[in-house]
Structure 1
Amino acid sequence: MLASLPAMAGSLEEGFAHPPAEAKPRLRWWWPGAAVSEEELRREVKLMADNGFAGGEIQAMSPNFVTLTPEEKAVVNDYAEPSFFVHVRAAGEAAKALGLSLDYTLGSSWPSGGGVAIPPEKAFTELAMARTEVQGGTAGPIPVEIPKRTRRLGALNFLDARVKAPEFADWGKRLDARARIVAVVAMKGAAPTLNGAAAGPMGFTISPWKDVETPGALDASSRIVLTDRLREDGTLDWTPPPGVWQVFLFKQYASDVGVLGAAGRGPQLILDHMDPTAFAAHAARVGDPLGENPVGIRSTFVDSLELMQDIQWGPQFLGEFRKRRGYDLTPYLPFVVQPGWMQAWDEHWSPPYFNSAGDELAERVRSDYRLTVSDMMIAGFIEPFVAWNHAHGIKAKFQAHGGAFDIIKGYGLADIPETEDLVHDGDPLFMRFARSAAHLYGRPLVSAESLVWKDRAYEVTPDEMRRRVDLLIAGGVNSMILHGMNYRFHASDWPGWHAFQPSPFAGGFSTMFDETNPIWPAVKPLATYIARLQSVMQAGEAMVPVAYFYGRTGYYVGIEDEGAGAQAAEKTFLAGGYDYDRINPDSIAHARIEDRQLVSKGGQRYPVLVLPPLEAIRADTAEKIAAFTKAGLPVLFTDRTPGRDEGLADMKRRDARVKRAVAVALKAGAKIVPADAIAFALRTAAIPANLTFTGDATDLVYVQRRVEGRIVTFLHNRGDAARSVTLALPQAGEVSRWNAMDGSVDPLSSTRGDGTTSMDLIVAPGESALLILDPNGPPLDLGVRQQVGRIVVPAEGWSLKVEGHVARKSYAHDFGQVTLKDWREVPDLAGFAGSATYRRTVSVDAGWLAAGTRVTLDLGQLHDMATVTVNGQILPPAISAPYRVDLSGVLKGGTNDLVVTIANVPQNAMINPKDPTYKKLKPVAAGWTGPVVMEAQR
């Protein structure tokens, strides 16, 4: 029986019925630089409040692909000037007055940098490599290739008028002055076999490396450092011994890559993320003017780093490497290049360019190199960023993915770790990295840049948004930032400025949460839906049985299985009923064992530690795991145990430490289990599962929490086929299914077993179930409703009026009597976007109105949302399939006036075959086809 949940102060029910502010979603708020007015800012803040949002995230950028007057350009580029901070303060004050708060991006666009604060001397650097093959016995001097700076459209490009001011005339020379030869190294061996092309559009590149088919093999014992033999004319004063030699020349460059789409005065160089003084200079420009405890500001934010470098580098790198790793990297530099490894925008698996012949020396060097990159970026950027925020009385919000460092630690150092759903269409397994960090480091919120689709700037529907929201929740997110709301700019050119609108070169990004979007009425119910779910997911404590080791630097799907991207272990855990967090070495170093459970620094408890198949692990991590095992923690090694340390320095002694630690762990009870038997091994070890599936659980993902003694399970079907399963929860009790769209609850039929509760579920594609198991709950009323009446409303006989746009021009028309159909079949509506009002009368039997009768209107298939009005009373919008509306209490016996307003996405009205920006857009389904059915149940 459907009923409203009782409102109990402070209870889970109260939060669900009336979500607190922190549970409400936020909007990424795109500003066209400083071209904003305080009046409009206050209006838009109120718009956020009125539509169910907790606030916004200020993202100032230069409006892309918009024709600006010189006066507009000047105001846009007042970003980070005093007038800009006046606007930020006004927005913050408006937010606070309405009970909202704002996040503020610490810099215009990304990566961080820009303005006079980041001159060439503080710009980030990269290492370039060139290789020359030489036959032994060739008499010197030998001409060798000198690497050039990779050609990218940078901050000093001729198209940017800001760099032409006289005070920046010498910046190009100052960038060039930072170039220096770092090393010339020769080794005997063979060249790699490469495939693919490195060049990008218009001759510019993201990365110069081609993927590797077969790595070259180098004899590391033959290594020779020849840096002092390089002549000024680019020849090498050296005659190689017999054999085939590879000569490598490494040159450091200061990169002129610019901050993408940045507003502000002067050039927009990216800061050196390994230099804390560069961060300090940047923060002084874009953050210090906020002052301490800025009104209405909750946090500052840094987006995913997306640094484009040939080889990640810093001017002090060799010295830091020697200090941190205990040896000189110079002779081993040829081994560090591996295409795809944290390659901005294109992270993927490729073998390295070179391995060491006959041993794992090259892999040890790469491990040490990556760990040093991680250490230096954390010390040079992330830790100063967090410290700066805390010194100013605000929180730090950070996206750690896309960075060449320990991303779990990167997320965890921030007060609010933030993931995003653009990665592999909202991959919930990827999003678990941010959730893992939150659990390990004690962060209550898991934020996400949400509802982003590539090449779909104008066509994402509310139903797709709801499905993506569910996927985010199933990925462990409990605090969404919707991408995004555009400041009202150039609004007369419908639909106005969209920060990621299409261009002749790219399809743009969604989503456009603007009043000019015809589906804007769906925003408030969507925000309410999110808030209800997040109120539950922010309550209580997470139930995560498995800590699954992750020792890599950076992340991309496929990093652990050489590009296969199968995510086999993660899927096996979930299919077996076990949720998991990824645990990094830093968290292991700070964890403790209590009652045979691993307890993280942040307080999360894990009954088991599982390690993936590993060749190597750091000795101190292995020893800590051995100590855990001796203290009673169940530890499982998948397929094999690690046999050595990861690093090169003092490797014999450190390898021996790893072997001893593994032996100690096995003697204390650790097990080696096959990968395909991991779920069975967990159950055999009596590790408590989240749930048990009977039936095909493919594509089902879930999260679980314990709240007020109850077990909350959120289950989502991310696949394209329905799943029918029997689900057993790990406690006996009564189960109800909560509906976050309307705030109602539906008792479920379940069976109590020996400490479990089982129920049958059919989960449609894209559908989710929020299940609450109450061990102390009274028996629920499972009364079955019977149909007492049904009307199929004809597709013919509707009157239709529309108002909106065609070809981006205003359009309104009265079509008179029509039949329901896809608007693409109606010539006058094929290019229409807007709202269409359908009207007719429907006769209802007075017997339907008896007490206890529920009448629903099933609208059938429609695109993309509907608002139903009955006898002048407007009902809550239907924004997601199945499009059903509860008519109980608004009908009367006899004739009823029925109005259905359909709104569609802007896409069809944006198409223009003659415009290079919009000619690539394709028509999408629109309108209303039904069938329309009214049904009464009692």
Structure 2
Amino acid sequence: MSTVDDHLRNLQDPPIEFRPELRWWLAEGLHTDETLRFEIDAAHRLGFGGMEFLAMDEAAIDHSRYGWGSEEWVHDSAIVVEETTARGMSVSFTSGTNWSNANVPTIDADHPAAAKELNFIVESVRRGAGRDGALPRIDLDEDRAVGMLPGHRIAPRQQHFVAAVAAPVVSEGASGAVIDVDGIVDLTASVVDDTLAWEPADDRDWRLFVFWWHGTGQTASPSASVNYTVSYVDRDGADAVIEYWRDIVLTPALREQIDRNPRAQMYMDSLELTTWGAGGMFWGHSVAEEFRTRRGYEIRPWLPFLTRQIMMMAAATTYLYEPTAEHATTVAKVRHDYVQTLTDLYIENMLRPFAQFLHENGMLLRSEISYGLPFELTRPGPEVDGIETESLEFGSQIDAYRLLAGPAHLFGKQYSSETGATTRNHMLDHRFYDQIIATQLAAGVTKTVLHGWASTAGAEDTTQWPGHEGMWSMFSERFDLRQPASEFYPLWNRAIGRFQYLLRQGRPRIDVGILRTDHFVDNLSGMVFHDGNGERVPDEDAYGQWWMRNRENHWWQDLGMQDAGWSYDFFDPSLLLHEDVTFGDGVVQPDGPGYQALIVYQEALDAAAAALLLDWAQQGLRVLIVNGARELKLLLTRDYTTHDRAASQTPGLDGRDDELEATMRQLRALPGVAAIDDPVKTVSALRGLGVVGRAEFVDDNQSVLTYLREDGDLLHLYAYNFLYETGEPTTVEVMLPGEGFVHRIDVWSGDAAPHHGVRIADGRTVLSVRLAPGETALFTVDRSTPTVESAPDDLWEATSIDEWSISVESWDAGEPVVLREDRGLGYETREARPTTAVTLIRSASTALASWQDLPDVGPEVSGVGEYFAVFELNARPDGGARVLLDLGSTNGGLGSVVVNGGEARGFDTSHPLVDITDAVRAGRNDLTVRVASSLNNRLIARGYYETFHDIALGFLGQEGYHATRVRPHGLVGPVRVLRTG
């Protein structure tokens, strides 16, 4: 069992495996060995814990020489693995449908392993005319718009007949046709040698649907050869990837390096598969047979109702044909069965064999499971080693992070996030990204993978200051050496590492599990930056003022549990049937999250899951059935779903609705089960069942989120005031189970001090926590040590600091350096590495102000400001009293504080309050504060944004360039020296 002292040793210098990691975009295989080694050494020196690397398309170079799969790329990959391993860093290969290394050059679009789709052609047929002859075939070379995802299509040559289905049209409108389910005729058996003779039996307007499957033809780049996207539902796809990696990629030298790295991984990125044809349906040569076997009926007659169109991701699915109202439920069940089958095949034919292969070769599988495709979001969770979410596609919303927290917590998986991607390149202050990380920690994300890192060096003809772009100019911030803030990354990485270290200890304690199935989760919500008038809203305004910061959670919209301090996750109810999930001691998964109650709110519930709920409820499980809940369907169209009556039908066409109804009738009759008709009553109903939040607030608080870990006698509590733009300072009292001594962890130093503001109530430890907007706090409660009750600290101002010596190190473009490499292969590799020229500007002002308001600095400057001052103290603190430096505001800039020439100390960008007790002395004290800016103001002055398209405008059907403004930078205070005691 761990002790506080054990953790304090690690908190002083958190081990490298707990530090933030990086997504690294290489300019294909162009980088010289010198650059690769320099970049990895720099990342390690700045305190990052690992590198996930991939080849990004670099213009103006020879892809056959430098693309993925080339000798240069293989050589560079070996260096990356070698250099990261030598430093104890993790290394991750990047997989995914947009990255060449997930796809293979050994197939073409017609190969059994290639990605497939179901396409169709429709004919109008009337009685008296009929039709006789060859079935219409797909024009595989037709020029069709295929959505917004990158990638190039190479048309397949083959198509395979699947079905011919006739259906009468009831009505037709702008949004599509309504067809009569009862009139459907499956004509597949009547097709002979791809010909069909058929005439309707009545005078209605009949449509003949002819279905063919063929390859999507999707390819990925950059690559030394053409790499085709593989199937994620047929086993052939995984086998082709495994064979290529086993026989070609994993050379003996690379295997040796991987064997030396205990944290080598494959990272499977979001599943950005595309279809080309009119059907819009993912398919495989095994799908029809697998559907019949798993669902118990033929899919063919229902295919017209499965045809669809999408915009980029599965969340934006629109079906082309709808049934009449009396058959809407039946068709919805068929649609569920189709996507459930795809999810089954994705799990069994891709994830399981791929993970097994990786394990056999010394690698783990970390994955952004499911989203992007019509796969259930949470069911694949048990199949991977690490579950990853991201900040971009979900808009950094707490409810979105709760979606994948469920399977991560249930199965003890490392929960990570790709963090920092926005549409705003180099524009935003560091505080913006700190708030994303703070939000993720509140949901149990304890591995940050920053999006990202790019070498400043790149192709000569395309690389300009501040450096090689890597992920274009639209999808990421750069957490690398081009940033003025990089000076402070070692302090920052240690601070984030302390959070991630302590919040991985023990087991999560989550109060409530919410049963939720979604094959079309909205992972486009993070790109919806427009107001009611269709006007572009800056990402930072939406993140800071909309959605969760405006009391609008997307998926569980009632905020009663959140305001009470209760925690909750989402997951598909079928996961409860997994052999690794148990019920005991009155909770679900006692050695994991320990859900005290489960909520059922969606109209569809699997009969087998309901039977398990009944069994567990008879053993003491508490269940709340909530009718009338509303949840997000697609934010882009402001589309929501309301579930009038929870668990009123099974999700699929399995004929078990009556069984479900009988089970639910028994369930509702049990004493540990309650049902409500308004989600607002959720907390009171759960309290009525005896649920008490493990980190419950004494009084409701609308500003604070918490996350709790139980580590034997220790409790580790994270708290966060998430209203960083719209809130006020708040004080919350948090009640924790048991009595114990409370340590408050200073994540910027690793020190722990007794927390002042503790009392005991009814055998629980109650912490009083005051948090400024955006501020975070970390505590450990030791229940093996007696509680010391205390009042909150009384802070008083010892002095204010109003006179400063101010200078700014202004960053701008320097002269580029050309790097040359000749590896004896008959050619020379050349890179351009922009350099930064730093000009020191001394301000005549002695008063703090933003740089644009300082004489001699102005609105065009980015870089690092240095502020020197002197303050006096009558005496050093004693008897446990403390001295704190309150910087007021740094305009969100990252920085450091040095007192009397001591070591540099970092600070929270939202509440820059630094404990300087051990550094001060009686009398004169010298203070140096350094604060970094973003590159925004300098890049505006250089015209950087004038040529970069704003991708968020594309979602509005508009064209335009990035719009930004001059932003305030630097220390603005007021700066005060505070004392306690």
- Alignment CA distance shift 1:137-1:12 (3 Å): farther
Contact preservation (8 Å) 2:716, 2:780 = yes
| Paired amino acid for 2:676 | V
1:380-399 correspondence runs (5 A): 380-399=349-368
- Alignment CA distance shift 1:104-1:647 (3 Å): same
Which deviates the most, 373-382 or 249-258?
249-258
Q: Distance in 2 between matches of 1:787 and 1:52?
A: 36
Which deviates the most, 387-396 or 872-881?
872-881
Q: Which residue of 2 aligns with 1:166?
A: none
Q: Which residue of 2 aligns with 1:617?
A: 605
Q: Secondary structure at the match of 1:842?
A: strand
Q: Distance in 2 between matches of 1:533 and 1:361?
A: 49
Q: Which residue of 1 aligns with 2:483?
A: 517
Match of 2:163 among 167, 177, 183: 183
Q: Which residue of 2 aligns with 1:679?
A: 683
Match of 1:376 among 342, 345, 348: 345
Q: Which residue of 1 aligns with 2:772?
A: 764
Q: Which runs of 5+ in 2 are unaligned?
A: 526-546, 628-644, 815-833, 950-960
| Paired amino acid for 1:328 | E
Match of 1:793 among 802, 818, 823: 802
Cα offsets for 1:448-469 (capped at 9, x unmatched):
11122x2211123222222211
Question: How far is the alpha carbon of 1:42 from its aligned partner?
Answer: 3.2
What is the root-mean-square deviation in Å for CA atoms of aligned residues? 3.8
Contact preservation (8 Å) 1:147, 1:249 = no
1:363-762 correspondence runs (5 A): 363-400=332-369, 401-443=371-413, 445-452=414-421, 454-490=422-458, 493-502=464-473, 508-556=474-522, 566-568=554-556, 571-590=559-578, 594-595=583-584, 597=586, 599-600=588-589, 604-614=593-603, 616-639=604-627, 640=645, 642-649=647-654, 651=655, 654-669=656-671, 670-674=673-677, 675-719=679-723, 720-722=726-728, 723-744=730-751, 745=753, 747-762=755-770
Q: Secondary structure at the match of 1:119?
A: coil
- Alignment CA distance shift 1:241-1:703 (3 Å): same
- Alignment CA distance shift 1:87-1:687 (3 Å): same
Question: How far is the alpha carbon of 1:791 from its aligned partner?
Answer: 3.1
Contact preservation (8 Å) 1:726, 1:759 = yes
Contact preservation (8 Å) 1:144, 1:235 = yes
Cα offsets for 1:536-588 (capped at 9, x unmatched):
111011112323212333422799xxx99742367443334432233324422
Cα offsets for 1:881-937 (capped at 9, x unmatched):
333445556567777665444321112222344852386342331333624434252
Q: Distance in 1 between matches of 2:326 and 2:797?
A: 79
Q: Which residue of 2 aligns with 1:205?
A: none
- Alignment CA distance shift 1:936-1:432 (3 Å): closer
Q: Secondary structure at the match of 1:930?
A: coil
Match of 1:917 among 941, 948, 967: 948
Cα offsets for 1:15-65 (capped at 9, x unmatched):
3333233322211122222223444333333333322222211222223xx
Q: Secondary structure at the match of 2:107?
A: coil
Contact preservation (8 Å) 1:154, 1:257 = no
**1:93 and 2:58 correspond:** no
Question: How far is the alpha carbon of 1:626 from its aligned partner?
Answer: 2.5
Q: Distance in 1 between matches of 2:797 and 2:622?
A: 58
Question: How far is the alpha carbon of 1:806 from its aligned partner?
Answer: 6.7
Q: Which residue of 2 aligns with 1:197?
A: none
Match of 1:326 among 267, 285, 296: 296
1:333-372 correspondence runs (5 A): 333-337=303-307, 344-345=312-313, 347-348=315-316, 353-359=321-327, 360-372=329-341
- Alignment CA distance shift 1:527-1:461 (3 Å): same
1:834-849 correspondence runs (5 A): 834-839=863-868, 842=870, 844=872, 847=875
- Alignment CA distance shift 1:850-1:237 (3 Å): closer
Contact preservation (8 Å) 2:382, 2:411 = yes
Which deviates the most, 384-393 or 674-683?
674-683
Q: Distance in 2 between matches of 1:710 and 1:891?
A: 33
Q: Distance in 2 between matches of 1:125 and 1:517?
A: 43
Q: Which residue of 2 aligns with 1:773?
A: 781
Match of 2:839 among 812, 819, 827: 812
Question: How far is the alpha carbon of 1:103 from its aligned partner?
Answer: 1.8
- Alignment CA distance shift 1:529-1:565 (3 Å): closer
Q: Which residue of 2 aligns with 1:279?
A: 238
Q: Distance in 2 between matches of 1:570 and 1:558?
A: 22
Q: Secondary structure at the match of 1:637?
A: strand
Contact preservation (8 Å) 1:411, 1:418 = no
Q: Which residue of 2 aligns with 1:905?
A: 934
Q: Secondary structure at the match of 2:667?
A: helix
Question: How far is the alpha carbon of 1:227 from its aligned partner?
Answer: 5.1
Q: Distance in 1 between matches of 2:480 and 2:317?
A: 39
| Paired amino acid for 1:123 | A
Q: Which residue of 2 aligns with 1:198?
A: none
Q: Identity rate of aligned residues, in percent?
A: 21
- Alignment CA distance shift 1:133-1:695 (3 Å): farther
Q: Which residue of 1 aligns with 2:633?
A: none
Which deviates the most, 374-383 or 602-611?
602-611
| Paired amino acid for 1:264 | S
**1:875 and 2:834 correspond:** no
Contact preservation (8 Å) 1:140, 1:239 = no
Question: How far is the alpha carbon of 1:880 from its aligned partner?
Answer: 0.9
Q: Which residue of 1 aligns with 2:890?
A: 862
Q: Distance in 1 between matches of 2:168 and 2:409?
A: 48
TM-score (ref. length: structure 1): 0.84
| Paired amino acid for 2:735 | A
Q: Which residue of 2 aligns with 1:823?
A: 851
Q: Secondary structure at the match of 2:22?
A: strand
TM-score (ref. length: structure 2): 0.80
Contact preservation (8 Å) 1:114, 1:267 = no
Cα offsets for 1:271-328 (capped at 9, x unmatched):
1111222222223334543437533252111111122231121122212211221211
Q: Secondary structure at the match of 1:519?
A: helix
Question: How far is the alpha carbon of 1:666 from its aligned partner?
Answer: 3.6
Q: Distance in 2 between matches of 1:252 and 1:785?
A: 72
| Paired amino acid for 1:928 | G
Contact preservation (8 Å) 1:842, 1:896 = yes
**1:927 and 2:969 correspond:** yes
Contact preservation (8 Å) 1:111, 1:304 = no
Which deviates the most, 907-916 or 21-30?
907-916
User: Would you say how many aligned residue pairs link Structure 1 and Structure 2?
Assistant: 873
**1:119 and 2:117 correspond:** no
